[in-house]
Amino acid sequence: MDDWFSGTYIKPFGTETPAGHTYEISKPHRHDFYYCVLSEEGEMELEVDFENVVLTDQTLFLSYPGQIHQINSARMEKGWFLAFDPSILDEQLKDILDQCLSQVILVPLSPEQTTVFSSFINHLYTVYTNQEQIFRQTITKSMVTALVYQLASAYLSAEQFNLKKYSARSIDITKTFKQILRRNFKSMKKPSAFAEKMNISVSHLNDTVRSVTGFPVTYYIQQELMREAQRLLRYSDLAVKEIADILGFEDAQYFNRLFSKIMGISPGKFRKDSETSYHL
């Protein structure tokens, strides 16, 4: 992606395949930016953090910085690819995205919504490619932010529908926990640390998160840690002890035992059994 401008990269699907596209399909990789796809017509199969994700007609997708992703197949006839640096977004929008309960944002769109998103991105692309545009940088950043707010709105509308049986307070507690976890999972590993930061009791936090999601706080803490451990084991040359240290474990043996218990396989065997060994 050589055409970055103002922390943004945009490419329409259905045009000539860009240079380097085969690399993106064949190799897993991770970035420090957000990765968005609007699928208007066609299908795309991805793997995001070892989970399969399928985009079909009229679907909007967003992955987070740091996630491992790989495009396994793409038959995209019409749509858009957008990548953007987190620094573009304001703090309120970052908070909204970090509070989303899903690990990836995948939103089925109505025909009307698809038209709105496509038209907006097309306008953004016009500004993005016009080097003569006055205030081009400011307009690009503002439009990306506006687009992501619209994306978040579409996602939250669906999420709120699924959560309508829970109280607003319970949803707020669960979302705040998810936000803090995403940002501090390497340093905060005990439910009590999250409860203290949120000024509520451990039992209230745990009962609330379990009631809304079906899983306790400890489950999510461990899953966040194991996800990053898998990323580093499979796609880096770091020793297991180094990975344990990066994840905030003072005792590498404890990390080994925890990984083996949760994943059902030791860190060393997980790395050895990986089919591929791409390095980030």
User: Which domains does the chain possess?
Assistant: 8-162 (2.60.120.280), 168-273 (1.10.10.60)
Confidence band of 19 (pLDDT split at 50, 70, 90): very low
Q: Would you say 79 and 41 are in contact if contact means Cβ atoms under 8 Å apart?
A: yes
How many angstroms separate the CA atoms of 202 and 190, rounded?
A: 10
Taking 80 as the threshold, does the pLDDT of residue 21 lie above it?
Answer: no
Give the residue from 152, 5, 22 showing the smallest Cα distance to 90: 152
- Comparing 117-126, 128-137, 148-157, 271-280, the range with the smallest average pLDDT is 271-280
Confidence band of 59 (pLDDT split at 50, 70, 90): very high
pLDDT at 1: 58
What contacts 171, CB < 8 A, 6 or more positions away?
163, 212
What residue has token string 């966040």?
224
pLDDT at 277: 45
Taking 80 as the threshold, does the pLDDT of residue 27 lie above it?
Answer: no
Give the residue from 180, 107, 186, 185 showing the smallest Cα distance to 147: 107
Q: What is the mean pLDDT of the chain?
A: 91
pLDDT at 280: 40
Q: Would you say 107 and 59 are in contact if contact means Cβ atoms under 8 Å apart?
A: yes
pLDDT more than 70, % of the chain: 93
How many angstroms separate the CA atoms of 129 and 122, rounded?
A: 11
What residue has token string 């687009």?
147
The arithmetic mean of pLDDT across residues 189-201, rounded, is 97
How many angstroms separate the CA atoms of 217 and 178, rounded?
A: 9
Instruction: Write the pLDDT tens digit of every residue in 85-98.
Output: 999 999 999 999 99
- Comparing 70-74, 192-196, 254-258, the range with the smallest average pLDDT is 70-74
Query: What are the φ and ψ backbone dihedral angles of 98, each rounded to 5 degrees?
Result: -70, -20
The arithmetic mean of pLDDT across residues 43-54, rounded, is 92
